[in-house]
Every structure is written in C-alpha cells, then in structure tokens.
Structure 1
Amino acid sequence: MQSILRGARPASVLRAQIARPRVPRAVLLSRTLVTKRYTVEHEAVEYDDATGLGMVCITDHAQSSLGDVVFVELPAVGTTVEKGDQIGAVESVKAASDIYAPVSGTIEAVNEELSGQPGLLNKSPEEKGWLCKIKMSKPEEMEELMTEEAYQDSWA
C-alpha cells in the first residue's frame, strides 16, 4: 500500500498536466536556414532554404565605389539565368556597371521600387535595395561563392 502512495501525484499536478496544451514536435523542430554569400564582382545573394529563393543585391562596398546611383536596369520576371549571366546594370554619376547572376535559376521577383528610387541602392544596398529574387535551380552553387570574411579579405 505504501508504494502506491509514494507514486501517487497530487490532484493539482494531474489537473495541470491535463490543462497543458500539447504542441506537435514538428512545429518545435522546424527552422529556416538563411545563407549569405558574395562574388568577386561585388554581388551578394541571400539564400533561404525554406523557399529556395536567393535574394540578389550589390554590396555596400560596390555602392560606395559607384557613387550616387541614378538608374537601375533589372531583369524580367520569368527569365531563366545561369550563374555569371548579365542580369542588369547600375548607372551612377561616376560610372555604369553590369550586374551578374551569382547563381542559376529563374527570376521570381524584381524590386520595382528601384525604378522610381534608384538611390535605395546607396541608402540600403543589401536590404531595401535588393535587385531580384532567383528561384535557384542549383542551390549547391552557394558553396562556390565567398563567405563574408573571404569577401572582406578580397578587397581590403
């Protein structure tokens, strides 16, 4: 009889266990991996493995070298590109520069705000001034690009 009582739990503990909502384990274990890599041409791509999209931008170093951006040419949505293909151009008061695809895939979206506000590339090149989003056909190409440390070392 005594062993049964030792294993018994107070009613308040039992009520707390019944009232506690159960959360499915799959919800607790899900996460998204976002990887950012760079090219020697000063483009960057931020890859989200949950969506398969790579958001392409120019780096802060590139925009500071260009000076005030006055025009941005972007690719058409639906265009299929291979790594290294020209996908657009940036014109500034100093120079014009081509933009190259850092990865292969299909253009899923372009930043329409840049047509009316090309200066976003100067204010926020790697966030609000993103150029396009590519649905990557070869995610393994991310491994061929430089890490932030390697990119910093390449021009520092």
Structure 2
Amino acid sequence: MTIQLHAQPYDISAVGFYFDSYEDYATKAAALRNSHGDPVEEFEIQFIDGEHIDCDLARAIGINQANLKQYLDAVEDWDDDDKTRVILAVGECGYCFGDDTQPSEFDVDIYHFDTMREFAEHFVEEGLFGDIPERLQFYLDYDAIARDLAHDYAEAEVGGTRLIYRCA
C-alpha cells in the first residue's frame, strides 16, 4: 500500500498539496508560491493515508520537514518489526530519531501479549520464577506478579497490536 501525506503551508495565503514520495514533495514544494508570488518555505507535514504502523511511526518521530526523507525511506525499507522497535524506542522510551537512525541501535525488549497478566503467566510457565510444581500454580497471584512486572515493563499498542515492552 502506498502512503499519502499532505504538506500544509504555515503561510495562510498558500494552498497545501498531497504527495506520496520525497521527490514528489520536493518538486511541489519548490514550485509552490503564496498569493503574493513569494516562495513558500515552511510546511506542517500531515499523515493522511497508509498502513496503521506507518501512521504510528509518523506520530512517534514527530514527522516534519527535517526528518521527512528519513521517514519515507524507513516506510519503504523497514519491516514491521523494525518500525515497531523505533516507534517504542522513540515514541515511548525517549530515544531520538536522527538522520542515520537504525532500528538495531535501540535496546528494546518486545513481547506480543495483550495484557500484563498474560505476560506474568508466561513468565511463570517459562520458569523465570524457578521450578513451581503444577499443583501450586493454581495458588499464584498472577495479578500481583503483573503489578510487579509493570515496574519494569509497559504496555502499548503499535499498528493495532497490543505489546508489552521494556526499554533497557
């Protein structure tokens, strides 16, 4: 699916335009003039249509003229896992998105669980709390374990999928 963005000029006497690639943006931005015939230089970049995860990426990095090319390259080149990692790292953990940002540089642990309680149950099943006999597992307070895990882990929704994550 292609992406559609809109460049809204800060100059109120100029009319914005839609675009779907950096080349399209650069061409239309260079040609745009306001009602006085002066070139328009500053735009607010708005996400209009595309994949849900690409919208989340635009929101997380704070898409603007300065990072537009990097954003469009990321949309084209990165898979959903890379985008998710950057969305969580930049949008939730406070990392910065720069010219040479690569998803692999962020130390974010991501787990595909809908709730913290499911995550707690997974921890117990995997033996992370030691070997607990099956007959005693029915007496565990998974909600309390989930509350304890919430000190180090957080919940988020990225691209319509619920996740549990931790920034290291």
TM-score bracket relative to the smaller structure: under 0.3
Higher percent of residues as strand: 1
Give TM-score, length-normalised by structure 1: 0.26
Higher Cα Rg: structure 1 or 2?
Answer: 1
Give TM-score, length-normalised by structure 2: 0.25
Q: Which has the higher contact order (CA 8 A, sep 6+)?
A: 1
